[in-house]
Structure 1
Amino acid sequence: MNSSTDVPVDQPSGAGSLLEVLRIFLRLGLTCFGGPIAHIGYFRDEFVVRRKWIDEHAYADLVGLCQFLPGPASSQVGFSIGLMRAGYLGALAAWSGFTLPSAAALVLFGYGARALSGPIGTGLLHGLKLTAVAIVAQAVSGMARNLCPDRERASIAVVAALIILFSTASIAQIGAIILGGLAGLWLCRSEAPAPSGHIEMPVSRTKGVITLAMFFVLLAGLPALRGLTESTGVALFDAFYRSGALVFGGGHVVLPLLREAFVTPGWLSDDAFLAGYGAAQAVPGPLFTFAAYLGTVVSPEPHGLAGAALGLIGIFLPGMLVLLGILPFWDAFRKRAGTQAMMRGVNAAVVGVLGAALYNPVWTTTVQSPRDFGIALVGFVLLTVWRAPPLVVVAFSAAAGTAMALV
């Protein structure tokens, strides 16, 4: 009797296979080049378009939620999808599959693996970056069709994009999404509530409150413990945890925090930091796996594999704790009429944020010649017209980039 009443909050309804989740996210972890914005495009293609595990509106709501929270937004989206599909172990499988391939590559680099060099290596890495242009462009066009079908929401998306494009502050992304929600409350109330798929995450409200409490206890308690024990292990974990807990927007935004936490106290040099940053951009998966490299090469002990594990756990843990704390309340909240209107505005703002990111940094740092544009254009057509799997586009762009470097 007790076990049956626990099922709705401890196990996902319509649970999928744990191995299925691990296999799919492992493939994504090996092929998702391009940073967090591109990852959102990969996830949309895999779980909204192909597998239909989640519908377009619910996915956009989830992306909007994760953009609000501290931590790596794309990893939080993947974690949530794994949680929804196969419970807590599914969430762990999704995170492991998506994270560990790039973490392993960066640990190897930290131990002295040479970065690709010469025209072949440079062309290969540039081709992989061009993959991100096609992926992000596909995500923006697809989400704009579904989430900005009228002039009100299209206008919200444009204003959000302008805020991002004309601001250099990292808080601008959060501000654009908040303004989008407020504009939605004002402009999007006349439309009947859009049907959003029911998403029941297998997390009870009690567990949500507990995980939120853990987030704040660690955030406040680790610095105190660091001062009391003078342990380098605690100091390292605190530096990683603080960086993961205080960054909004994820991805590149965490780099200044990590530099302040590790270079300023002399735990590693600026040259070593920047070398790892360059390597992190050349591997698939979340940029937060840069922590695995830092944990490997940092001078205080523990370093090496133990430091890499400490770094990964420390930087990802706060984002996952706060996500688990919010998810139990999210599905009920998003179904209210006012919330529906607000989320329409938020979803439109997310499209604008993605559109701005398509230009900067994705386009401005990658498309440098007509040849680059041609490769990205072919990749975009392969994705949108031929419905080719992203792995095909990755292979084509990498081969084309290498060929262009040799010409």
Structure 2
Amino acid sequence: MFEVFYRFLLLGCMSFGGPVAHIGYFQREFVDKRKWLSDEEFASALSLCQFLPGPASSQMGMYIGHNRAGFSGALMAFIGFTLPSAVLLTLLAVSTSSTSGDAPWLVMSIGAAKLLAVVVVADAIWTMGKKFVHSFATVAACILTAVWILWQSGLVAQLMPIIMCGVVGALFLSKKPKSSESERKSSVSSSLTIPLFIIFALLLILPVLLPSSSPVNVFHYFYQAGSFVFGGGHVVLPLLQPIIGDSVTGTALVEGYAAAQLVPGPMFTVASYVGASFQGVDPYLGSFIATLAIFLPGALLLFAAMPVWQKVMLNPAFAGAVTLINAAVVGLLLAALYQPVWISAVNNISDIVVVSIAFLIMRKYQFSVFWLLAAMLVYKLVFSMIL
């Protein structure tokens, strides 16, 4: 349990780049390096998290933590990965500091982290591609998914290729699941599915029935947001605006959204900043309630769906569907590598050279992500001095 906390705390301190980069960090750290779960388990969990509302990378973290150390491991994974960004954003909201997002040291740090995100995502694509893209059908599914995602945008566009690949795979690639999959039991009892769904629904309705107060309102607003946000942290801002209304100052949402992009960890910790800015609530209490409320729905839905998902995967038709779904997930990552990861990070030829060298070093020598980040920081510092 404490090992889970420690590993996710380290990642929470250095995982810049958004949910796609986080998936890359997890894949490298817990599948390739530590063997906490297999490639198949990782891909299956990733497919499940793509279908559920909430923060996909945080849900993946909780899945990995649970796989390693049960529900206490899931809790430690969540706390470790979320704590650094939540604390930073809370302190930033509480303080009246005028620190500018254009400060040179901050610009260099974020630029270095974004370059590292390119390398990590590319490494994840390479590793998962070798495992899941190995036939004409899977190559086609991967490429078509990437092209579709780059052409279209929004939640429907993201889910469409996964659904279509699932249907085609179920119809034409039906196969018996591997014996190891048949023997593997769900790590979450199916008896918990209905109770967890009931708790999820009650927490959505209960605040409306309670006497109105600022803490109750904070929980209700952010729990709603966490229950209906698909597509990652970038969708939180437009959803929160009509829900919260005048409960925070007009600029708090935008300031929190901008600040969340300057710290490591999940984008959903924008709730920590906005909760601390909520009128009529102690800022630290508001931050805690908002952070808990926005992540809680995704956790409840994840553990409610896990037993059902793992049972469905034993169906021969679904086993065929998973073959193309896994390829589609690689296509999703491939599209995300270009937009927004590559476009937001790589600005010139020297960036391309550094990213390429870092990728080759990571593949050949299995360098720690920490040292690669340090190297990126040195590069950015030297580059700024030359300019």
- Measured against the shorter chain, the TM-score band is over 0.9
Q: Aligned to 1:36, which of 9, 16, 19?
A: 19
Secondary structure of residue in 2 paired with 1:397: helix
With over 3 angstroms needed to count, the CA separation of the structure-2 counterparts of 1:288 and 1:364, relative to structure 1, is: same
The structural deviation recorded for 1:111 is: 2.1
The structural deviation recorded for 1:136 is: 0.8
Give the corresponding residue for 1:268: 249
Aligned ranges for residues 7-406 of structure 1 at < 5 Å? 18-112=1-95, 113=97, 114-115=99-100, 117-189=102-174, 193-194=177-178, 200-222=185-207, 224-225=208-209, 229-262=211-244, 264-265=245-246, 267-270=248-251, 272-298=252-278, 300-406=279-385
The structural deviation recorded for 1:324 is: 1.1
- The one-letter code sitting in structure 1 at the alignment partner of 2:4 is V
Bigger shift: residues 353-362 or 156-165: 156-165
Secondary structure of residue in 1 paired with 2:236: helix
Do the aligned partners of 1:103 and 1:292 also contact (CA within 8 Å) in 2?
yes
1:260-282: per-residue Cα shift (whole Å, max 9, x none)? Answer: 333x4352223x32222222112
- The one-letter code sitting in structure 1 at the alignment partner of 2:39 is E
The structural deviation recorded for 1:79 is: 0.4
Do the aligned partners of 2:154 and 2:231 also contact (CA within 8 Å) in 1?
no
- The one-letter code sitting in structure 2 at the alignment partner of 1:368 is N
Identity over aligned pairs, percent = 37
With over 3 angstroms needed to count, the CA separation of the structure-2 counterparts of 1:281 and 1:195, relative to structure 1, is: farther
- The one-letter code sitting in structure 2 at the alignment partner of 1:273 is L
Do the aligned partners of 1:71 and 1:248 also contact (CA within 8 Å) in 2?
yes
- The one-letter code sitting in structure 1 at the alignment partner of 2:241 is R
Bigger shift: residues 143-152 or 382-391: 382-391
Determine the C-alpha separation between the residues in 2 that align with 1:110 and 1:60. 37
Do the aligned partners of 1:152 and 1:187 also contact (CA within 8 Å) in 2?
no
TM-score after normalising by structure 2: 0.93
Determine the C-alpha separation between the residues in 1 that align with 2:213 and 2:105. 45
Do the aligned partners of 1:109 and 1:115 also contact (CA within 8 Å) in 2?
no
Structure 2 gaps of 5+ residues are none
- The one-letter code sitting in structure 2 at the alignment partner of 1:22 is F
The structural deviation recorded for 1:305 is: 0.8
Determine the C-alpha separation between the residues in 1 that align with 2:149 and 2:46. 17
Determine the C-alpha separation between the residues in 2 that align with 1:20 and 1:85. 10
Do the aligned partners of 1:138 and 1:384 also contact (CA within 8 Å) in 2?
yes
Do the aligned partners of 1:171 and 1:248 also contact (CA within 8 Å) in 2?
no
- The one-letter code sitting in structure 2 at the alignment partner of 1:162 is V
Alignment length (residue pairs): 383
With over 3 angstroms needed to count, the CA separation of the structure-2 counterparts of 1:266 and 1:218, relative to structure 1, is: closer
With over 3 angstroms needed to count, the CA separation of the structure-2 counterparts of 1:200 and 1:194, relative to structure 1, is: closer
Determine the C-alpha separation between the residues in 2 that align with 1:311 and 1:404. 40
The structural deviation recorded for 1:119 is: 2.8
Determine the C-alpha separation between the residues in 2 that align with 1:321 and 1:340. 25
TM-score after normalising by structure 1: 0.89
Do the aligned partners of 2:118 and 2:342 also contact (CA within 8 Å) in 1?
yes
With over 3 angstroms needed to count, the CA separation of the structure-2 counterparts of 1:164 and 1:150, relative to structure 1, is: same
The structural deviation recorded for 1:174 is: 1.6
With over 3 angstroms needed to count, the CA separation of the structure-2 counterparts of 1:254 and 1:195, relative to structure 1, is: farther
